[in-house]
Amino acid sequence: MIEIDEQVVSLRDARSVRICGVTAEHAAAFSEFMRAVSEESPWSGMMPSEVRSQADQRKAFEEQDEDGLHWRLGVWDDSTGMIVGDCSMTRTDRAKFCHVARLGIGVRDGWRGVGLGRIMMERALDTARRDPDILRLELLVFAKNSIARSLYLSMGFVEEGMNIRSVRQSDGSFDDDVHMAIWVGD
């Protein structure tokens, strides 16, 4: 997939962040970020106990980097060294499906609502449109996650259907998983 150019951006609240690719050397910061989001956000698909350890994450990144089917963008707060946002696109190598990339995104609590999600989505869409191997970008979002759904709709994603009650939250309540996608080929 297309490489990620490093970029420093100013957010709506005047804080600055640095955007760059996430590699195996960032495994510790990435695991910490994933654990933080999964601990506080009901919209994460992972429980904290399911987040990979630093060692497992490093191994996973190393393996992913060999196949060239993964794109991982990270946003750093350099004043703390923490990752505050991530966005990824993943393809399969199966011939009938390899034109499809699956998108994932998350922003750390305290950094939401200031434009980071939209900036990362724009970077992902721009990359997908320039990559001749990607024709369709798709994602799954919990139905009750209205902020994320409105962001994706505003970027041109279409809601194609949903898996009813396929999500069970830790409090026992159910949610639906909405399938959204955008065609980025010609």
Ligand X SMILES: CC(C)(COP(=O)(O)OP(=O)(O)OC[C@H]1O[C@@H](n2cnc3c(N)ncnc32)[C@H](O)[C@@H]1OP(=O)(O)O)[C@@H](O)C(=O)NCCC(=O)NCCS
Cα end-to-end span (Å), the chain = 18
One residue of 52, 59, 99, 112 binding ligand X per CB under 6 A: 112
Asked whether position 106 contacts ligand X by CB under 6 A, the answer is yes
Which region among 14-22, 67-75, 102-110, 160-168 touches ligand X (by CB under 6 A)? 102-110
**Quick one: 21 or 45, whose CB is closer to ligand X?**
45
Nearer to ligand X, 13 or 171 (CB): 13
When asked if residue 117 is in the footprint of ligand X (CB under 6 A), the reply is: yes
Closest CA to 140 of 149, 130, 131: 149
Provide the minimum distance between the beta carbon of 183 and ligand X in the complex, in angstroms, as a whole number.
19
Edge-to-edge strand list for the sheet holding 100-107: 7-10, 16-21, 70-77, 82-91, 100-107, 136-142, 174-183, 158-168
Task: Tell me the CA distances in angstroms from 65 to 3, 4, 37, one per residue in order.
Answer: 12, 13, 24
The piece of 56-64, 74-82, 89-97, 105-113 that touches ligand X (CB under 6 A) is 105-113
DSSP state of 80: T
Q: Are 141 and 167 in contact (CB under 8 A)?
A: no
Distance of CA 47 to the CA centre of its chain: 16
Residues 148-167, mask of contacts with ligand X (x by CB under 6 A): x-xx--x-------------
Work out how close the CB of 115 gets to ligand X at its nearest, in angstroms, rounded to a whole number: 5
* 41 lies in the binding site for ligand X (CB under 6 A): yes
CB of 66 to ligand X, least distance (A): 27
Q: To the nearest 10°, report the CA torsion of 110, 114, 117, 120.
A: -110
What residues make contact with ligand X under the rule CB under 6 A? 37, 41, 43-44, 105-107, 112-118, 141, 145, 147-148, 150-151, 154
